[in-house]
Amino acid sequence: MGTSRHAKFIFITGGVVSSLGKGLAAASVGALLENRGLKVTFIKLDPYINVDPGTMNPLQHGEVFVTDDGAETDLDLGHYERFTNARIGKGNNFTTGQIYDAVITKERRGDYLGGTVQVIPHITDEIKSRVLAAADADVDIVLVEIGGTVGDIESLPFLESIRQMLVELGPQNAVNCHMTLVPYIPTAGELKTKPTQHSVRELREIGIQPQFLLCRADRPLDDDIKRKIALFCNVPQDHVITCADAETIYEVPLLLHEQGLDDKLAKALNIWSRGANLKAWREIVRRVKEPKSEVTIAIVGKYVDLTDSYKSLNEALRHGGLDNECRVNLRFVDSEKIEETGADKQLAGAHAILVPGGFGTRGVEGKILAIQYARERSVPFFGICLGLQCAVIEHARNVCNLETAMSREFDKDARHCVIDLMPDQENVVDKGATMRLGSDPCRLEPGSLAHKIYGKPLIDERHRHRYEVNNEYRETLVAGGLILSGINPERDLVEIVERADHPWFLGCQFHPEFKSKPTAPHPLFASFVAAAMTYARGT
Ligand code: GLN
């Protein structure tokens, strides 16, 4: 199947409950192996039937992570990219819906020659071929995370596929790491192993014997507990690994390394490599734990969005802090509260203000008020995607005197749509993948703030939006003092706006947060946090 001959597979399953942090564990293992000099990649298999995670409600599902090639993926792929140098794209995230869609399309085309199409082998073969295809890119290790919890009906075809692969690839080429929960029961004063035992039994019932157990617990497992888990779960005792709660997620690779997980995986998979070089990770953790200063940044969004829907953004702000050895406290401000009680009340004390991406009318006026506050008080302001669009509306209304300025998204009949659909988007009705998605180039105006920050004239950033700055208003906006400092050279679209009359005011149509890593903080976030520090010193 064209698989690179030497690629080995680590399958990561989860049991007992969801939200154990499988994605983080997978990313951390990837980081450890990469720092041993191995080339890693990841696949996330999602058991839901939606074909396109892009149309899923971020409240139920968390952030939609966007890759360079424009795939709208699960937020775990963000962890993979932040923790490693793996190149993640369309081939790294599959849903059950996509798998069935492909098989049904083949059936309609007559590919199965009238044979009965079944879960085994047709669905499982489709899953296996996609997992094996990821090994094409000349990687040493493919980490495959299976979404959901063992015992769910939905994930059975995925588990059956990895059962087959474990047998077909052989024990030195593929292992299963099963993540479980070991709860501490305060009244008994004990960690309890029973849920782990049940979960492993469930896995063994479908033919999978895990080689490693990653046990989430609020404290380290002692030897007695490990012995018990090993005995009941048929796993060597030194393969029972504690995943204790960490002070920062960036400590997880170090905590796993201290227990020798990367050595043990290398041994199990018969991989010869050097030891892990974790200097960079140690420095990150030191900076998180011993910051030299502290700032508070207000993130102004819809109340309901202010959680996991901004995962990458929250991390990118923390990375900006790491670059400055500064702790970044995030204050989530509900934009509708600003509408009710005014910006002063909600934003006082913030050292910088950020308006992130978003969709829909709700709370937009509050975001515009927050931007007016930032502009008038010279508080550092960063607008991302919808944040840029709101900044342009604010400027048009309050500086250029176009009182009815709006985005077509919020009022189809508005007189001055300074934010509008691209002409080729006007008649699109389909809900999937109709946005400008993925990486696009942007040329920076020499001498602008953006140019200084990036230190180069041409950049690439990722997009996920339908609306754009309306080119018909460019002259008016510029006459009012807005600097259009980033332009898409291929399509002549506004990508970055800033102001000369303000210490740090920048809006971008793209999402820089998707490309920030703790090991390489994104320059816009590093500069924004530095501006917040300067502002804090002046107050
Ligand atoms: N809703 C806006 C658009 O579609 C902004 C999208 C975003 O912030 N990601 O253009």
- Mean pLDDT to the nearest integer, 390-415: 94
The 10s digit of each residue's pLDDT in 211-247 is 999 999 999 999 999 999 999 999 999 999 999 989 8
Boundary-marking domain end, from 248, 264, 283: 283
Cα 384 to ligand 1 centroid, rounded to whole Å: 9
Cα 510 to ligand 1 centroid, rounded to whole Å: 9
Q: Whose CA is nearest to atom 5 of ligand 1?
A: 386
SS3 label, residue 492: coil
Atom of ligand 1 nearest to the CA of 464: 9
- Mean pLDDT to the nearest integer, 330-349: 94
In angstroms, the CA 225 to CA 235 distance is: 13
Q: Identify whether residues 152 and 203 lie together within a single domain.
A: yes
Q: Whose CA is nearest to atom 6 of ligand 1?
A: 465
In angstroms, the CA 104 to CA 292 distance is: 58
Contact 357, 385 (CB under 8 A): yes
Q: Identify whether residues 276 and 295 lie together within a single domain.
A: no
Determine phi and psi for 105, rounding to 5 degrees.
Answer: -60, -45
SS3 label, residue 471: helix
**Total number of residues shown for the chain:** 539
SS3 label, residue 483: strand
The pLDDT > 70 percentage for the chain reads 94
Q: Does the active-site annotation cover 385?
A: yes
Mutate to test the pocket of ligand 1, among 393, 466, 514 (most ligand atoms within 8 A of CB): 466
Token pair, residue 462, equals 């990722």
Cα 64 to ligand 1 centroid, rounded to whole Å: 13
Q: Identify whether residues 158 and 207 lie together within a single domain.
A: yes
Q: Identify whether residues 107 and 252 lie together within a single domain.
A: yes
Range scoring the smallest mean pLDDT among 258-272, 304-318, 350-364, 410-424: 304-318
Q: Identify whether residues 44 and 91 lie together within a single domain.
A: yes
Is it the case that residue 329 has pLDDT exceeding 50? yes
Boundary-marking domain end, from 250, 283, 316: 283
Is it the case that residue 71 has pLDDT exceeding 80? yes
Contact 173, 263 (CB under 8 A): no
Mutate to test the pocket of ligand 1, among 72, 465, 468, 509 (most ligand atoms within 8 A of CB): 465
Q: Decide whether any atom of ligand 1 lies within 6 Å of the 160 Cβ.
A: no
Is it the case that residue 33 has pLDDT exceeding 70? yes
Q: Decide whether any atom of ligand 1 lies within 6 Å of the 416 Cβ.
A: no
Query: What is the SS3 string spanning 184-227?
Result: EECCCCEECCHHHHHHHHHHHHCCCCCCEEEEEECCCCCHHHHH
Q: Decide whether any atom of ligand 1 lies within 6 Å of the 359 Cβ.
A: yes
Contact 453, 443 (CB under 8 A): no
Atom of ligand 1 nearest to the CA of 409: 1
Q: Identify whether residues 367 and 481 lie together within a single domain.
A: yes
Q: Identify whether residues 264 and 347 lie together within a single domain.
A: no
Mutate to test the pocket of ligand 1, among 464, 493, 495 (most ligand atoms within 8 A of CB): 464
Boundary-marking domain end, from 263, 283, 303: 283
Question: What mean pLDDT, rounded, does the chain reach?
Answer: 92
Q: Identify whether residues 385 and 505 lie together within a single domain.
A: yes
Domain interval for residue 484: 291-538
How many structural domains are present in the chain? 2
Q: Decide whether any atom of ligand 1 lies within 6 Å of the 251 Cβ.
A: no
Q: What order do you get walking across the sheet with 212-217 strand by strand?
A: 93-95, 40-46, 141-146, 8-14, 174-181, 212-217, 240-244
Q: CATH number of the domain that 354 lies in?
A: 3.40.50.880
Is it the case that residue 89 has pLDDT exceeding 60? yes
Is it the case that residue 511 has pLDDT exceeding 60? yes
Query: Which residues are paired to 465 by β-bridges?
Result: 436
Q: Decide whether any atom of ligand 1 lies within 6 Å of the 410 Cβ.
A: no
- Mean pLDDT to the nearest integer, 153-159: 93
Q: Does the active-site annotation cover 513?
A: yes
CA dihedral 262, 147, 75, 179 (to 10 degrees): -40
pTM: 0.92
Catalytic residue among 233, 326, 513, 522: 513
Catalytic residue among 122, 351, 451, 511: 511
| Integer angstrom CA distances of residue 111 from 85, 116, 429 | 38, 11, 31
The 10s digit of each residue's pLDDT in 252-264 is 999 999 999 999 9
Q: Decide whether any atom of ligand 1 lies within 6 Å of the 513 Cβ.
A: no
Atom of ligand 1 nearest to the CA of 359: 1
Cα 504 to ligand 1 centroid, rounded to whole Å: 22
Q: Decide whether any atom of ligand 1 lies within 6 Å of the 303 Cβ.
A: no
Q: Identify whether residues 330 and 278 lie together within a single domain.
A: no
The pLDDT > 90 percentage for the chain reads 83
Atom of ligand 1 nearest to the CA of 419: 10
Cα 431 to ligand 1 centroid, rounded to whole Å: 14
For helices 156-169 and 124-133, the axis angle rounded to 10 degrees is: 60
Q: Decide whether any atom of ligand 1 lies within 6 Å of the 367 Cβ.
A: no
Q: Identify whether residues 27 and 164 lie together within a single domain.
A: yes
The 10s digit of each residue's pLDDT in 463-500 is 999 999 999 999 999 999 999 999 999 999 999 999 99
**What is the predicted pLDDT for the residue at 302?**
85
Q: Identify whether residues 254 and 296 lie together within a single domain.
A: no
Q: Decide whether any atom of ligand 1 lies within 6 Å of the 393 Cβ.
A: no
Cα 334 to ligand 1 centroid, rounded to whole Å: 18
Cα 525 to ligand 1 centroid, rounded to whole Å: 20
Q: Decide whether any atom of ligand 1 lies within 6 Å of the 385 Cβ.
A: yes
Catalytic residue among 385, 417, 442, 508: 385
Q: CATH number of the domain that 258 lies in?
A: 3.40.50.300
Q: Identify whether residues 279 and 343 lie together within a single domain.
A: no
Cα 310 to ligand 1 centroid, rounded to whole Å: 14
